[in-house]
Structure formats: structure tokens, C-alpha cells
Structure 1
Amino acid sequence: MDINTHESIDSSLMGEPVAVAEGSSEVRLACTPNMAADASGLVHGGFIFGMADYAAMLAVNHPNVVLAGAESRFLKPSRVGDILIAKADEQEREGRKHIVQVDVSCNGEVVFKGTFTCFVTKEHVLAGA
């Protein structure tokens, strides 16, 4: 399936799409030293959240999809060197509103879970700005 959204994302920071289908996606992210929050190699959660958000956007896969809200839980720490896999699945669709569940795992263990509320706007959010 073609990618119709977020085409300028830096895959080194948000992950590389592995699969995109109607209502689902999978994204792979290699955790690199520039993602470390401290000398121990703990990866800052913002990168993991960003990856999950990107996976949710790809599951909706519309040029005007935006994030309206998210409920998330970090379950385990991630470290530099980890390879993370985000799997997104659309749970509900009501008009322009999409609810997408995203699980991020490392070596088969879930490290992050999130529910993303996405909307497809009538035009790009920056149109006319």
C-alpha cells in the first residue's frame, strides 16, 4: 500500500515503515546514541511516543490525518541498541475520527502501549496559515 501521509518524516528518528495496510501499520526503529537521555543509554520516551504516533498516522494513512489526543503507558525502559517494533491497529472509526491502538515491543516484550485519537481534517491543518 502506498504511504499517503507524513511523507517527510525522518525515519532515523521516527522509524521505518515495514508494512502499511488499510487500518494497520508496522514501523521499525533502531535506537541510536543520539536518542539517549543519559550516560546509561536510556532512550528518551519522546522517541518511542513519536514512533507510536507515526505508526498510528500510517494506520489511518490519509494526507490530512492529525493527532487529537493519546493515552499512553511506558511499560519497560528502552536502551541504545534496541530495535523497536510498533504495531498499529485501528480499533474504531466514526466519521473523521479514528481510534488506533499501538503496541511497541522489543525482542517480543511490549515496552509501550498507546491509544491514539486521530482525526482526518477537511483540509491540511496549515492550509491558509
Structure 2
Amino acid sequence: MEPRTHLGISLRLVGQPVEISPGVARVRLETLAEMSADDRGLVHGGFTFGLADYAAMLAVNDPNVVLGAAQTRFLAPVVCGEVLEATARVVEEKGKKRQVECVVMTSKVVFEGVFTCYVLDGHVLDAQG
């Protein structure tokens, strides 16, 4: 299945889709030196979150999906050069609302979260006044 959402995003920064099937997505991200928050190579958590968010969007895979909320936990640090893999699954669907669980791993679990996504009738910016 091909991506139907976030088509303009930088795959270098949020990861490369490995699998997209109905309600499920897996995305891999090779962490880069420019993602480092310090001189020891600690990857800024925003990149881990961005990977997980992108995987959640692909699990829904609708052109008009947006993130409404996230409950997340960072469980272990990530060092530049590590490869992250996010697996996201839609676990609940109610009208426009989708609950997506996501786990990000290296050789261990480093992040987990539940993303509340919404499938809108049109592009989110079209609703702006």
C-alpha cells in the first residue's frame, strides 16, 4: 500500500515507510549527527516523537488526517547512529476519531504512545478563517 498522507514530508527526518497496510504502519529512521542535542550524541526526543507521529499518520493513511493529542513516554535514550523502528496500529475508530498505539524500538523499546488522530472532511488549513 502506498502512502496517502504527508506526501511532502522529509523522509530523512521522520523515517522511511517499511510497511503500510490497513490500520498498520512500520517506519525506520536512521538517526543523524544533526539530530544530536549535545556533544555526546544524544538524539533530541523531537525526532523520536516525529517518527512515531509519522507512523501513526501512515497507519490511518488518509490525506486529511491530523494529530489532535498524544500521550507518550520516553523509555530510553537514543544515540546518533542508531536505527529506530516505529510500529503503529489503529486500535479504535469512532467516526472521525482514530486511536493509534505506537512503539519505537532500537534493540529495546525507547518510546511508546497513544495518538489521537482525526480524519477531517478536507485539509486542516481550509478550515482556517
Give the TM-score of the pair, scaled to structure 2.
0.97
- Structure 1 residue 29: Cα displacement: 0.2
Unaligned runs of 5+ in 1: none
Indicate the percent of aligned positions where both proteins have the same amino acid: 50
Matching residue of 1:53: 53
Q: Deviations over 1:35-92 (max 9, x none)?
A: 0000000000000000000000000000000000000000000000100000001110
Gaps in structure 2 of 5+ consecutive residues: none
Moved over 4 A (4+): none
Tell me which residue corresponds to 1:117.
Answer: 116
Aligned length: 128
Q: Determine the C-alpha separation between the residues in 2 that align with 1:43 and 1:71.
A: 20
Secondary structure in 2 matching 1:127: helix
The 3-state SS of whatever aligns with 1:101 is strand
CA RMSD of aligned residues (A): 0.8
1:70 alignment counterpart: 70
> How far off its partner does 1:127 sit?
1.7
Mapped partners of 2:90, 2:82: distance in 1: 26
Report the Cα distance in structure 1 between the residues aligned to 2:57 and 2:4, rounded to whole angstroms.
Answer: 10
